[in-house]
Amino acid sequence: MSSSILSKALQATSLLASTTLVALSIATVALVTHYSESMDASYPEGSYTYYGPDGSPARREYWEEYDAGNRDFNKVYMQYVTSNDVWVLNPKTAGSRFPWVLACSIFFGLAAFAMSLTSTIITFETKKRLEREACIPSAAYSYYNPYFDCTRELAACSIFKMLSSGYDNHSQQICSEAQASRKMLIPSLVCAVVLISTWIAQAVVSKKGADAEADRRVQDLQEQKQVQ
């Protein structure tokens, strides 16, 4: 493959990667904005009645005890950890604000990679930590610790179905949007890696092409001298 064809192929690849990164940025900003506003409007931080997991033995036992007059409604308190929402938006905002720079500058490719990698690690680790420590269903049964510290995603996906007397389709929709926005960090990371790789490859191809051109000119000059 000639250097010119390879260079064009690399340019097309970098353009595709940067365009995909911008598209992911726009989609993620829209998703995070929508599910955050929906969550704060429909399920704000504060006090909720605990019913138990829908259809579970614990829920049936709870209502049997309530009907018998042996217990009152439990109250739990929801608090949101919003750092994950910010980290999901971080690399996306940079990508959507400077799409043309990302397409033509390896510096911003490195920045997108660093932010995407950092955001991916932090958001997934935060989710795992809260699932183990502060956003677990069993906490609702404790009279001394009726607090949930959850990301909006964990609250919508795991907790609010236990704070409703029936199936809550709205929280499931919010859950899907939150999961999708967080998982978009992975293809964003891949696009950033592709951007960096193609720009490095373009630099190498360009240098080799320049060296070959210089060698050709030297050879032409030498041949001209020999003819004279």
pLDDT tens-digit profile of 120-142? Answer: 888 888 888 888 888 876 655 55
Please report, for the chain, the start and end positions of each structural domain, with discontinuous segments joined by +. Answer: 21-197
The percent of the chain in helix, strand and coil, each rounded to the nearest 5, is 75, 5, 15
Whether residue 66 is predicted with pLDDT greater than 80 in this model: the reply is no
**Considering the entire predicted model, what is its pTM?**
0.69
Better-scored residue on pLDDT, 173 or 97: 173
The residue to which tokens 């899907």 are assigned? 176
**pLDDT band for position 6 (cuts 50, 70, 90):** confident
pLDDT of res. 95: 45
Distances (CA, A) of 59 to 67, 102, 162, 213: 12, 52, 9, 78
pLDDT digits (tens, 9 = 90+) for 77-121: 889 988 888 888 776 544 444 444 444 556 666 777 788 888 888
Residue 71 has pLDDT above 70, yes or no: no
pLDDT of residue 176: 93
The residues near 227 (Cβ < 8 Å, ≥ 6 apart) are none
